């Protein structure tokens, strides 16, 4: 009889056991949830930096082929298929059809068909290169070589 009472009493969990399990689950949630909350921001930042790298490398290859950088404000040269679609460069040194080996960027989801990657911080409905990237070429002067500046039109939040 006593064995039956003890067996009947042990069919469920005690209140203490349930509270311990709930506390353990709450502690695990406090550790995991903040890490998951920032995953989207980290992915967007990684995409931004990767796209900037792609454009920088394409600009350098363009410069090596053509002897100059694309005209200021016009990164569409990097996605051009023929020399006819390339805008007048900042300098004309070495600018011949035989030097052109484009397109230098080919992205399936390119901005307006230009082949340029998207800036992940810009609204996807913005379809011009200027909506996504700011580019300025600086012509060579004296002994200074030509340079350029490139930035996202919409920059990532600080701290990335």
What is the DSSP code string of 104-134? S---TT-GGGS-PPPPTTS-TT--SHHHHEE
Residue 28 lies in a domain: no
Query: Hunting for tokens 């053509």 — which residue is that?
Result: 66
How many domains are there within the chain?
1
Residue-range definition of the domain harbouring residue 71: 37-152
Q: Among 147, 140, 112, 144, which Cα is nearest to 128's?
A: 112
Which phi and psi (to 5°) does residue 93 adopt? -65, 125
Do the domain assignments include residue 9?
A: no
Q: Is residue 14 part of a domain?
A: no
Note down pLDDT in tens along the chain; length 160 residues: 666 665 556 678 899 999 999 999 999 999 988 888 878 888 888 888 888 888 888 888 887 887 777 776 667 777 776 664 444 454 555 566 677 777 777 776 677 666 778 778 877 666 777 777 777 777 766 655 677 778 776 666 654 4
Question: Would residue 120 count as lying in a domain?
Answer: yes
Indicate whether 102 belongs to any domain.
yes
Q: What's the rounded Cα separation, in Å, for the pair 107 and 59?
A: 15
CB 150 within 8 A of CB 133: yes
């Amino acid at each position: 009889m006593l064995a039956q009472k003890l067996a009947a009493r042990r069919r469920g969990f005690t209140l203490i056991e349930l509270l311990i399990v709930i506390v353990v689950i709450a502690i695990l949630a406090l550790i995991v949830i903040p890490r998951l909350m920032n995953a989207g921001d980290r992915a967007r930042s990684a995409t931004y930096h990767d796209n900037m790298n792609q454009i920088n490398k394409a600009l350098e290859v363009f410069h090596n082929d053509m002897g100059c950088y694309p005209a200021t404000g016009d990164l569409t040269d990097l996605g051009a298929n023929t020399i006819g679609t390339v805008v007048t460069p900042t300098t004309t040194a070495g600018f011949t059809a035989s030097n052109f080996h484009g397109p230098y960027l080919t992205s399936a989801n390119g901005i307006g068909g230009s082949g340029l990657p998207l800036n992940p911080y810009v609204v996807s409905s913005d379809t011009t290169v200027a909506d996504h990237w700011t580019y300025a070429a600086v012509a060579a002067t004296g002994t200074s070589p030509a340079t350029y500046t490139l930035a996202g039109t919409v920059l990532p939040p600080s701290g990335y």
